């Protein structure tokens, strides 16, 4: 699914063109348009509500990107990714709140950027720790160990111990003005939007380049047939753990970014549901495709918001509906995963690929 | 010492219920190769159905029977609508369909019965505890254990001595060979789901009698997974032994480790144990060790 057919009469003359990110000028133009749209038009047009929805989409993309890397590119099934996002979020928060930062770092506003980096590293290492069983087991058994990661990390360690640090009770809140990047204090939704958007772009570019490299090829070989990969001389344990590290790293960035939006965290933000949700996102978007992750995140978040908007007007007539909406949402999520797997098993990315090729090859579609 | 004995007894009794649910799980896996993560929600559906009929005034055994029938129908429907098309799909798709099903069921259950804890009222089993020497156990536990054991015997003899059971075993063993001697694989898959749904319903009803029924009883479906892994994924005796072991282990952890690690030791102990166990014996106690060649 990775290569798009080029239109008639467009061909490459050297390797640089063949390896280029944007293969034709039209694609380059479209991408520039997309960036202009995302960076300039969206914050200008959208109101506060839709900006917050977009933030949620960005956070979902970052979270799902790690899952996509593990499941879609390395074939390591995981159902506990929320744990690593939680580790990232808590590391960043604790660093900001409890670490004795030197005054000059606080003055130039480096505390939060450094904490994001440290959070990403810690989450990556934590992820490797629970990826270790992947050396021995795979498939369904790996699902069980990653599930164990979720319960041990979030339901036990964080709920019982980490969230008691500093005597704040269950929920940590970050005082206003503590989240600063350089001279900018991240305090409005639009600023959070710019920050998350930038991190999403960096993460997507990073992962997309990684899967094009030698490492990515090794991952894909492991996904397709791990025994063959081992026979070909790939150190599969090392590469599997590397996949876990990168996935945890991105999860850590996602968690650390998200606290700038909430300005507070508690263990309830990282339930098992969230791990399953992320797997649902990549399934609906398309397994093994980077822009599938983006489509999946957009679909899941925006469709749920639209569902909410459709249900809300009815709530005057049926007041109980507001309370029941959470359950309807849950059932709808489950049903949509089932229906997608039954009727569109390749996800939205495949459909997008078909549409693109139709236009590229038109009028000679063969 | 008394505490130790009592913990073990309670663990065994609860473990009996886990074994019942684990049996349904192993059955589905053995016959159709489907990894069913919706087991917890299946227990909830069965339990809430029998609870509703019981509160309406139907006798307990009759309402249990009604929930068994409804479970049977739902099991066949689920298999026909969702799982039948997925034969031969990659393992991730099948697992995620069951995850999707679990959310769907859970949403429906919450929509229909709400999230408050409901109890069997009037209580089915009397509150008077039973004494075995120094060990004191609630009657609910004893009866649940007895019921679970009876059902386990019924299920196991069903597989050993009836035509249906034998054809299910044959399909589990070698699907191609079974097809060639005239066993309908689709029928077997449907029967496996129906039986699993029924076993889950009984397990849920018994657990609901112990502590009351709310959405967190569905967590049981996840507790069954360590039990199944312990016994080996495709072994029915393994599921029973695994269920008992997990029940005992969970109660021991709750009794002895709670003072060192306050909080939810009891909930996560089975998972920690399972994670460690997997590192040393990835195929469980009686699971098939699959040797892979390229």
- Is residue A1 classed as helix, strand or coil in its secondary structure? coil
Measured between beta carbons, the chain A residues lying within 8 angstroms of B292 are: 227
Q: How far away is chain A from the Cα of B129, in angstroms, using its nearest Cα?
A: 33
The tokens describing B58, both together, are: 């139907």
Q: Assign residue A139 a region: left if phi > 0, alpha if psi is -120 to 50, beta otherwise?
A: left
By CB neighbour count within 10 A (0-12 exposed, 13-18 middle, 19+ buried), where does A349 fall?
Answer: buried
Q: What is the pLDDT of residues B213-265, one digit of tens each?
A: 888 887 777 888 888 888 888 778 888 888 999 999 888 888 888 777 776 77
Show which residues on chain B lie within 8 Å of chain A, measured between beta carbons: 35, 82, 85-86, 89, 91-93, 95-97, 99-108, 110-111, 222, 225-226, 229, 233, 261-265, 267-268, 271-272, 274-275, 278-279, 282, 292-294
Helix (H) or strand (E) holding B136: strand B135-137
Q: How far away is chain A from the Cα of B126, in angstroms, using its nearest Cα?
A: 35
Closest CA to A66 of A123, A136, A3: A123
Residue A335: which of B92, B104, B229 has the nearest Cβ?
B104
CA distance linking residue A184 with residue A304, whole number of Å: 32
In A39-179, DSSP assigns E strands to 172-173
Looking only at the bridges linking them, the beta strands covering B135-137 and A172-173 are: unpaired
CB pairs under 8 A between A and B: 140
Cα dist. B67→B50, B72, B93 in Å?
Answer: 5, 8, 29
Q: What is the pLDDT of residues B146-165, one digit of tens each?
A: 888 888 888 888 888 888 88
CA distance linking residue B246 with residue B248, whole number of Å: 5
Which of the residues B33, B88, B92 would you substitute to probe the A interface, choosing the one with the greatest number of A C-beta atoms within 10 Å? B92
| Residues whose CB is less than 8 angstroms from the CB of residue A105 and which lie 6 or more positions away in sequence, other chains included | A111, A114
pTM of the model: 0.88
- Predicted ipTM? 0.82
In A, minimum Cα distance to B84 occurs at A342
Q: How far away is chain B from the Cα of A69, in angstroms, using its nearest Cα?
A: 14
CA distance linking residue A196 with residue B117, whole number of Å: 40
- Is residue B196 classed as helix, strand or coil in its secondary structure? helix
Q: Per-residue pLDDT tens, chain A, 366 aa: give them.
A: 346 677 777 778 888 887 888 878 888 898 999 999 999 888 888 888 889 999 999 999 999 999 999 999 998 888 889 999 999 999 998 888 888 888 888 888 888 899 999 999 999 999 999 888 887 777 777 888 888 889 888 888 888 788 777 666 667 888 777 788 878 888 888 889 999 999 999 999 999 999 989 999 999 999 988 889 999 999 999 999 999 999 999 999 999 999 888 888 888 889 888 998 899 899 889 888 898 999 999 998 888 888 888 877 777 777 677 777 778 888 888 898 899 888 888 889 888 888 888 888 877 766
């Amino acid at each position: 699914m990775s290569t798009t057919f080029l239109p008639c009469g467009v061909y490459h003359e050297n390797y640089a063109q063949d390896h280029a990110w944007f293969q034709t000028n039209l694609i380059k133009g479209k991408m520039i348009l997309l960036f202009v749209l995302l960076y300039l038009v969206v914050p200008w047009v959208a109101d506060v509500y839709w900006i917050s929805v977009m933030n949620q989409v960005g956070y979902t993309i970052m979270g799902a990107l790690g899952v996509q890397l593990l499941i879609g590119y390395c074939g390591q099934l995981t159902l506990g990714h929320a744990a690593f996002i939680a580790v990232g979020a808590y590391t960043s928060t604790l660093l900001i709140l409890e670490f004795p930062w030197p005054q000059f770092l606080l003055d130039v506003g480096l505390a939060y950027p450094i904490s994001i980096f440290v959070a990403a590293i810690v989450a990556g290492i934590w992820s490797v720790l629970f990826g270790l069983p992947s050396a021995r087991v795979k498939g369904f058994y790996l699902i069980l160990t990653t599930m164990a990661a979720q319960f041990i990390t979030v339901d036990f360690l964080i709920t019982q111990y980490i969230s008691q640090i500093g005597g704040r009770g269950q929920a940590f809140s970050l005082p206003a003005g503590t989240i600063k990047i350089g001279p900018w204090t991240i305090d409005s939704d639009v600023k959070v939007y710019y920050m998350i958007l930038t991190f999403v772009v960096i993460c997507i570019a990073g992962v997309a380049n990684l899967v094009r490299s030698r490492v990515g090829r090794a991952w894909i070989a492991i996904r397709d047939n791990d025994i063959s990969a081992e026979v070909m001389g790939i150190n599969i344990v090392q590469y599997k753990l590397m996949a876990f590290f990168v996935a945890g790293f991105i999860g850590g960035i996602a968690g650390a970014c998200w606290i700038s939006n909430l300005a507070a965290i508690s263990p309830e933000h990282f339930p098992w549901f969230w791990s399953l949700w992320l797997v649902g996102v990549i399934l609906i978007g398309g397994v093994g495709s980077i822009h599938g992750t983006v489509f999946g995140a957009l679909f899941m978040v925006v469709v749920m918001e639209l569902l909410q908007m459709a249900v809300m007007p009815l709530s005057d007539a049926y007041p109980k509906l507001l309370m029941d909406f959470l359950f309807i949402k849950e059932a709808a999520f489950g049903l949509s995963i089932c229906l997608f797997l039954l009727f569109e098993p390749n996800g939205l990315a495949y459909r997008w690929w078909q549409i693109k090729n139709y236009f590229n090859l038109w009028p000679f579609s063969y | 010492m008394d505490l130790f004995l009592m913990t073990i007894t309670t663990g065994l009794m609860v473990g009996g219920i886990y074994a019942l649910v684990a049996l349904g799980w192993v059955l589905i896996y053995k016959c159709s190769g489907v990894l069913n993560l919706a087991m917890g929600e299946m227990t909830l559906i069965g339990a809430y159905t029998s609870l509703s009929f019981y509160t309406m005034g139907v006798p307990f055994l009759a309402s249990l029977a009604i929930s068994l029938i409804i479970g049977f129908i739902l099991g066949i429907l689920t298999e026909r609508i969702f799982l039948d098309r997925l034969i031969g799909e990659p393992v991730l798709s099948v697992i995620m369909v069951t995850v999707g099903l679990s959310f769907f069921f859970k949403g429906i259950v919450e929509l229909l019965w709400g999230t408050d804890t409901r109890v069997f009222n009037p209580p089915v089993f009397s509150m008077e505890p039973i004494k075995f020497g120094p060990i004191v156990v609630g009657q609910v536990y004893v009866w649940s254990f007895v019921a679970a054991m009876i059902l386990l015997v019924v299920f196991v003899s069903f597989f050993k001595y009836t035509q249906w059971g034998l054809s299910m075993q044959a399909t589990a063993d070698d699907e191609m060979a079974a097809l060639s001697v005239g066993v309908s694989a689709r029928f077997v898959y449907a029967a496996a789901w129906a039986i699993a749904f029924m076993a889950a319903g009984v397990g849920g009803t018994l657990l609901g009698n112990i502590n009351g029924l709310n959405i967190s009883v569905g967590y049981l479906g996840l507790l069954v997974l360590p039990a199944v892994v312990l016994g080996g994924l495709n072994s029915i005796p393994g599921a029973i032994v695994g269920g008992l072991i997990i029940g005992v282990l969970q109660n021991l952890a709750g009794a002895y480790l709670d003072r060192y690690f306050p909080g939810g030791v009891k909930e996560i102990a089975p998972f920690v144990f399972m994670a460690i166990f997997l590192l040393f014996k990835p195929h469980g106690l009686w699971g098939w060790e699959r040797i892979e060649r390229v």
